[in-house]
Amino acid sequence: MKKRLFSILLALCMVLCLVPTTAFAESETEETPVCTCEIACTEETMNTECPVCGAEGALAENCGKHVEPAAEGEASQPEGEELQENQDSDMPDTQSEAALAQVSGEGENGIAVQSAGVAIDNTNFPDANFRTIVEYYDTNKDSSLSDTEIAAVEEIDCYDKGISNLKGIEYFTALRSLNCGYNQLTSLDVSKNTALTKLYCKKNQLTVLDVSKNTALTYLRCNRNQLTSLDVSKNTALPSVSLMGSH
């Protein structure tokens, strides 16, 4: 019996002596591989030359360039790359600049001239009938009067068109002749139209008419209104005959 136990123990010792002792040491001294990828790996494309990503069964999440998905509302970006600056924030606000560029200041006649033009709208020309007349001078049909288009208007004929408001006439600073007779005008401001030589505003409902700024007038017809007085002391070029029936 003792011999049999001794034989068993001897056999076990021989088996243990055959097991390599270096296998235990390697796990303690081996260095952890470092990822050498230049770009982030995906599940479809793994870098086989990388000691980490090229290992059998490697996951794309183990790649050194891999970035976890950004939280909602945040932009995701690979490590080492800079976020692209928002071009809109660096670019000038073209709409704001265009709006500022429209106004070139006060002209010789005190009118704020817009270099980008005067919009043909309800604000600048509130009377729809007069606005229709003005649209005729919009030669390029862009619903706006450019400086060139305004400068080309030397005569406006809106005779008997049912107009009750001539607001907007002040933009036409090159105007030389205005025929607005037989309408429903209760006021008429031609103080900015200093180039006027002819004014026909007969048969309206005017109670006041100021032509003191229109010193170039050579023709005036304003009778059949409700004028009680008319000062033409500044209109030295105006023949007295043209004032007949003005009251």
- Return the pLDDT at 219: 94
Question: Residue 177: helix, strand or coil by DSSP?
Answer: strand
Torsion of CA 81, 82, 84, 85, to 10 degrees: 180
Could you give the C-alpha distances from 159 to 21, 191, 199, 211, in angstroms and in order? 117, 20, 12, 20
The pLDDT value recorded for residue 106 is 46
Instruction: Say if pTM beats, i.e. exceeds, 0.75.
Output: no
Q: Distance between CA atoms of 168 and 44, rounded to whole angstroms?
A: 69
What is the sign, positive or negative, of the torsion defined by CA atoms of 140, 146, 147, 150?
A: positive
d(CA 193, CA 16): 118
Contact indicator for 163, 178 with CB cutoff of 8 Å = no
Task: Give backbone dihedrals phi and psi of 3, rounded to 5 degrees, phi first.
Answer: -65, -35
* pLDDT for position 35: 83
Give the residue ranges of the chain where pLDDT is below 50.
21-27, 75-76, 78-114, 241-247
pLDDT for res 101: 42
DSSP 147-167: HHHHHT--EEE-TTS--S--T
